[in-house]
Amino acid sequence: PTNSMIKRNLILLAALIGLSGASAAKRPDIIVIMADDMGYSDISPYGGEINTPNLARLAKNGVRFTQFYNTARCCPTRASLLTGLYPHQAGIGHMMNDRGIDGYRGNLNNRCQTIAEVLRPAGYSTYLSGKWHVTRHVAPEGPKFNWPLQRGFDRFFGTIHGAGSFYDPNSLTRGNTQIPPGEDFYYTDKINDTACQFIREHDAQDPDKPLFMYIAHTAPHWPMHAKPADIAKYKGQYDRGWDAMRKARYQRMLKMGLIKQEWALSPRDPKSKAWQDAPDKEWELRLMEVYAAMVDSLDQGIGRIVQTLKDTGRFENTVIMFLADNGGCAEGMGRGGNNLKHQTIYRDRDQPLVLKPMGANDLQADMIPKRTRDGRALRQGRGVMAGPADTYMGYGLSWANASNTPFREYKHWVHEGGISAPLIVHWPAGIAEIGRASCRERV
């Protein structure tokens, strides 16, 4: 599987670099959009029930790949995608720590080039909005030789680190300077809206120059954070539980032709209870509702990006690629115990402990914040309803099992559930034929 993944990435990279040899008038804009910890069947073009109409339209009018692979973890996939190399060749064989071996330094090495470093001298403007996560140096005053502006990008807004609050992410950066989030901040929206800003400003300044943009989301990676209006859309959607969800997705995938009739649905993970036996059902349902809202919000932003391309007249000659860095995540982040700490320090679950608020210019230093910016202490554990800024949890193994329908295992594992990724490619001016597996919205 890893060889197949690398070959596909190399073919795509070679194709994009080849485009740079064409005349400037014919060279397309290139936008690569990556989701984070999203299962193979979460979006509607791949059998999911989550409302993703913008991705469905891109799939219907483009090409939907049914067998595309990643490397089962965040950083190695990003290293491979950015460079076209095996992640070990690029220096990121695992996560962002230096293990004392060349393939495991936790930094992109100086023996590789990023796609931005190749396309910029070929005449492209290069932009990144979102998660970087290919260097271990994340501190605001630390080394920056492997930050985006030093690896080929003209403009950057996003996070250097790999995970954090959607309301107050650590290592939030503009250019080479770390910044506080500002008012009414929600990271998924800010990533997409910054991408729209980059497109508009590029078109105003140099409309005839092609652009390359990498839009690297943290959604739907934990923590389960979403806006109330988006969460409300999914109230009751999952009340039948994860077993019914898996079966319904499997049937839709069969109908779409994504999988073969002779391929049986994998058994429920032995570490997962049957839904009828699951404890804390209301809590579990809320986690999945928030997860769905996070994917929904991501899709809404993609719709705004598409509209911006249309408004600027760039849509027809833009290659849009959408993929995920690994499968759904079974990690138990923040799910353990009965929240005894919460019960001890809070007199009332609805009246959380208030600490000293953060200053308007204070930077968030922690992946898992101890408090919100307005001073609410962090809440984790069973019974804490996900979504607000003072919560921090993953949706857990059983829902991840459903996200990865029909496959086994998850992020971390190189079973199909860990390495299988959706891939949608849309390019009106360049794709003559729709892929054989055309999709239908909300089948």
Cβ count within 10 A of residue 335: 22
- Whether 75 sits among the annotated catalytic residues: the reply is no
- Given 74, 75, 196, 439, the catalytic residue: 74
Cβ count within 10 A of residue 316: 12
Residue with tokens 């608020």: 357
Contacts with 71 (C-beta within 8 Å, 6 or more apart), sequence order: 2, 5, 77, 80, 87, 326, 419
- The alpha-carbon radius of gyration of the chain (Å, integer) is 21
- Given 75, 88, 133, 202, the catalytic residue: 133
Q: What is the DSSP string of 229-289?
A: HHHHTTTTTTTTHHHHHHHHHHHHHHHHTSS-TT-PPPPPPTTSPPGGG-S-HHHHHHHHH
Contacts with 114 (C-beta within 8 Å, 6 or more apart), sequence order: 82, 83, 108, 151, 152
Largest CA distance in the chain: 68
Contacts with 222 (C-beta within 8 Å, 6 or more apart), sequence order: 37, 163, 329, 331, 333, 334, 392, 393, 394, 395
* Percentages (nearest 5) of helix, strand, coil residues in the chain: 30, 15, 55
- The amino acid present at 110, given as its one-letter code, is N
The whole-angstrom separation of Cα 64 and Cα 58 is 9
- Residues 388 and 288: beta-carbon distance below 8 Å: no
Nearest CA to 420 among 238, 214, 266, 212? 266
Task: List residues with catalytic annotation.
Answer: 74, 133
